[in-house]
């Protein structure tokens, strides 16, 4: 079923004939549109289908997607920075750290090792998440600077790999002794 929010531009019949056509939705679409198999609809300026949001990311919601991913990166960075600061402070200013902990009523009976373990766990979990999310933010900054969508970028890279494989085909195991590439 076609998405009611994606309408082809008003055009005369000659222009409609020149427009790409989605055989699944049975409607003419914009040039950068793509049919998403997960959502079963055409998306204008299709970027990707986000499994975390369970939604397609395209021209209409790309800015909101980027703002969300950036905000998550900032939030994880704050958690990571705060946890690292507290862990360092725990060892450099032991007395002050313990006084702060003891001043919180329900934490006064917890040993220092509990907090060290908690902070190390927070850093161990949030460190990789921060790196992955920051990498995603940087990728989308790069893609925006190149005026590409994720889909267009992936298809471009796939085309480059296919042309390289056609230019330098892999040897068979008999010819190359193990099937190694040149």
Question: The tokens 């007395």 sit on which residue?
Answer: 95
pLDDT of residue 16: 60
Render 121-142 in DSSP notation, one character per residue. HHHHHHHHHHHHHHHHHHHHHH
pLDDT of residue 172: 45
Q: Out of 39, 42, 50, 90, pick the active-site residue.
A: 50
pLDDT (tens, 9 = 90+) of the chain, 182 residues, equals 566 666 655 555 556 667 788 888 888 888 888 999 898 889 999 999 999 889 999 999 999 999 999 999 999 999 999 999 999 999 999 889 888 888 887 888 888 889 999 999 999 999 999 999 999 999 999 999 999 999 999 999 999 888 888 887 765 444 555 554 54
pLDDT of residue 5: 63
pLDDT of residue 22: 85
* First-residue to last-residue Cα distance in the chain: 48
pLDDT of residue 7: 60
| Beta strands at 34-36 and 41-43: parallel, antiparallel or unpaired | antiparallel
pLDDT of residue 12: 52
CA quadruple 141, 145, 151, 153: dihedral, nearest 10:
-110
Residue 154, Cα to own-chain centre: how many angstroms? 13
Spell out the residues 6+ positions from residue 34 whose beta carbon is closer than 8 angstroms to its own.
42, 43, 46, 151
pLDDT of residue 1: 53
pLDDT of residue 112: 85
Helix, strand, coil in percent for the chain, rounding step 5? 60, 10, 35
pLDDT of residue 13: 58
- Predicted TM-score (pTM) of the model is 0.74
H or E element at residue 42: strand 41-43
pLDDT of residue 167: 81
Q: Is 50 a catalytic residue?
A: yes
């Amino acid at each position: 079923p076609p998405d009611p929010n994606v309408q082809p531009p008003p055009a005369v019949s000659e222009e409609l004939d020149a427009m790409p056509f989605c055989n699944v939705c049975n409607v003419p679409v914009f040039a950068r549109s793509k049919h998403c198999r997960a959502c079963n609809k055409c998306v204008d300026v299709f970027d990707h289908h986000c499994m975390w949001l369970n939604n397609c990311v395209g021209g209409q919601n790309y800015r909101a997607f980027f703002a969300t991913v950036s905000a998550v990166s900032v939030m994880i960075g704050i958690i990571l920075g705060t946890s690292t600061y507290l862990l360092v402070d725990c060892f450099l200013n032991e007395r002050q750290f313990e006084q702060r902990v003891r001043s919180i009523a329900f934490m006064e009976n917890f040993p220092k090792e509990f907090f060290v373990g908690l902070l190390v766990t927070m850093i161990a979990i949030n460190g990789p998440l921060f790196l992955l999310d920051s990498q995603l933010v940087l990728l989308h900054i790069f893609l925006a600077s190149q005026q590409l969508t994720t889909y267009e970028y992936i298809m471009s890279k796939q085309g480059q790999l296919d042309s390289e494989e056609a230019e330098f085909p892999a040897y068979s195991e008999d010819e190359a002794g193990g099937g190694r590439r040149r």
